[in-house]
Amino acid sequence: MIAKVICYALNGLEGVPVEVETDVNKGLPAYEMVGLPDAAVKESKERVRSALKNSGFAFPLHKITVNLAPADLKKEGAGFDLAVAVSLLKASEQLVGTELGDTVFLGELSLNGDLRPVSGLLPILISAQKHGFTRFVIPRGNAKEARFLRGAKIYPAATLAQVVGHITGAAPLEEQQSADFFSLVTRRQSAVDLSFVKGQPMARRALEIAVSGGHNLLMVGPPGTGKTMLARCIPTIMPDLTFDEALEITKIHSVAGVLNEEGIVLERPFRTPHHTATTVSMCGGGNRAVHPGEISLAHGGVLFLDELPEYKRSTLEALRQPLEDGVITITRSAGVVTYPARFMLCASMNPCPCGNYGSDHLTCTCTPAEIRRYRAKVSGPLLDRIDLQVEVDSVGYDELTSEEEQEDSRTVKERVDTARRIQRNRFEGREISVNAEMGERELREFCPLSRECDDILRASFERMKLSARARSRIIKVARTIADLDASEEILPRHVFEAVSYRTYDKME
């Protein structure tokens, strides 16, 4: 007899339905699995065999053929175990007279018949729902991740026996209650806050502008001055996650298998890959499955690159295209996968190899050639995509221990939210949502420059030797500064301030 059970495979963030067909026939006992399974899928034979026996079922001593259709799609991971077990039970007539209908079965089996959680469940559920499936049996370990899906009947199960009980109707599983996303969000409190950062008025201002307009930021400063601390505060002043954003980020994190306990991402991601990171770990890839990289895991949040010049040049160059497009398309022999990668890049570096350039109490011992070599490690094109470059001050002991109350993240966030609201209204009905994403067309439409402002820009180019490419970046930053200032027009003072954040271009 032949049995069919629906399961799902993942291709990037897209779920693809897979039919598990099992045929139990007379013949010499054998167990064949076809349909491009990878090693983990093939090994499911042994897991299914033990799980069936240990759950009180018989493993048929016949010729068994399992086909995973469509046959040309590569199947990976252990998520097919449950579907294979159920179809085997049905094909061997141990589940007589039951109708599976269009229930989707997902889960990995352990040898004693327990169900283990699988990665990438949320994107599968979302895709499956789009394809018209509404009933799902999933491992209990994935229950939290599934509870934000609306309009689907989801049955978490702990063991294979429970699943069988559910199918036969002997002991139906309880349906998963959907949870409210926002009730979870409000009770979160961040471990860092801008009020913990002492001094640094310039960097604070730059941070505020960067987050308001979605600009990328480079902090240059001596070692140990709080660059990392400042960067960690960025998520605390970013606008709250919307449910759709959270879902999208959760999908990526789910596929990568790094999802938190809650089953949904509640805070904007803050990723800090070490400078030894490879291009593949940064951008995504891998020899079997195409996994999302750090830039995709930072989607909707911050990618913080500490000690920027220490990263491999090729790795940094690979960031250029996703910085522009907000997505990364990875091509491998196994297939082509596109992951979202719209993140805010925040980088930090020392001003020179010894780190003391510009310090008020230490002397820099680097020669101009050394400084130039050090800075040249960060390529011009990448630097060009970083709109704000700010120097971080070395903090004196008095400042460090001062009791003076510093502005906290909440106050700054309110200003950021206002500026973001202005931008949302401005870009109503367009693909973009923040100033940094403006193209030539939007620049012309929303950033007309008065004669005076244009003169300022012209003068800056001549005096400060700014690159021609820096022009539109400066205008975008000026637009954000004007938004923070609640000014309809870009005024000279906005342009001046924007110019002052191109320090790096001026330091030859």
Q: Which residues bind another protein (CB under 8 A)?
A: 199, 201-202, 205, 351, 357-360, 363-364, 366-369, 372, 391, 393-394, 456, 459-460, 463-464, 481, 485, 492-494, 496-497, 499-500, 503, 506-507
- Minimal distance in Å, beta carbon 372 to another protein? 8
Judged by CB, which is closer to another protein: 260, or 367? 367
Our CB check for another protein shows the closer of 170 and 468 to be 468
Angstrom distance (rounded) from CA 424 to CA 2: 55
Take residue 283 and report the two structure tokens written for it: 């951008």
The smaller minimum CB distance to another protein, of residues 396 and 439, is found at 396
Q: Which two tokens stand for residue 308?
A: 């920027």
Q: How far is the CB of 157 from another protein (least distance, A)?
A: 59
Looking up tokens 């929303």, which residue turns up? 446
Our CB check for another protein shows the closer of 143 and 416 to be 416
Q: Are 504 and 392 in contact (CB under 8 A)?
A: no
The number of C-alpha atoms within 13 Å of 374 and in the hemisphere containing its C-beta is 19
**Dihedral in degrees, nearest 10, Cα atoms 242, 243, 247, 250:** 60
Q: Quick one: tokens of 374? A: 């050090």
**How many angstroms separate the CA atoms of 82 and 164, rounded?**
11
- Minimum CB distance to another protein smaller for 299 or for 375: 375
Tell which residue, 392, 379, 373, 352, has the closest CA to residue 218. 392
Ranges assigned E (strand) in 306-462: 327-332, 335-340, 344-349, 388-391
For residues 170 and 369, which CB has a smaller minimum distance to another protein in the complex? 369
Minimum Å gap between C-beta 484 and another protein is: 9
Task: Name the minimum Å distance from CB 470 to another protein.
Answer: 14
Strands (E) across 221-323 are located at 270-271, 284-285, 291-292, 302-305
Least CB distance to another protein at residue 231 (A): 18
CB of 501 to another protein, least distance (A): 8
- Name the nearest CA neighbour of 284 among 347, 220, 334: 334
Instruction: Kindly report the number of other CB atoms within 10 A of residue 190's CB atom.
Output: 12
- Residue 346 beta carbon to another protein: minimum distance, rounded to whole angstroms: 18
Cα 371 to Cα 366: distance, rounded to the nearest angstrom: 6
Q: CB 351 → another protein: shortest distance, Å?
A: 7
CB of 413 to another protein, least distance (A): 18
Length of the chain: 508
Nearer to another protein, 377 or 493 (CB): 493
Residues 287, 152: contact at Cβ < 8 Å? no
Q: Output 192 or 364, the one with its CB closest to another protein.
A: 364
Cβ nearer to another protein, comparing 306 with 393 = 393
Cα separation, 463 vs 468, whole angstroms:
13
